[in-house]
Amino acid sequence: MAAQNITPEGRISKVLRLLKVGYTSIRHADRNDITTYYSRCPSINLKGNWLEEAGFETGKQIKVTVEPGRLVICIGEGN
């Protein structure tokens, strides 16, 4: 019998991920839509197949709870 490479259902490829907080540029314009300046805003970019493995499929609503030093991201109740 050939050996099978079976992983348990519901296992996520990598449990711990280390990311960096980057920034996004925000354009500020006057009433004539002429750019007056750009400012930086903190940004976290989450992407990869591991999101779908964790249940965060494209189009699903998410809920983000903000606590000191922690962000908790859950699937929204409307899904």
Nearest to 75 by CA among 14, 12, 64, 49: 64
Are the C-beta atoms of residues 21 and 44 closer than 8 Å to each other? Answer: yes
pLDDT for the residue numbered 71: 95
pTM: 0.65
Report CA Rg, the chain. Answer: 19
Degrees, nearest 5: CA angle 17-63-76: 110
Distance, in Å, from the CA atom of 44 to the CA atom of 58, rounded to the nearest integer, reads 18
Q: Give the pLDDT confidence of 20-32 residue by residue, as tens digits.
A: 999 999 999 999 9
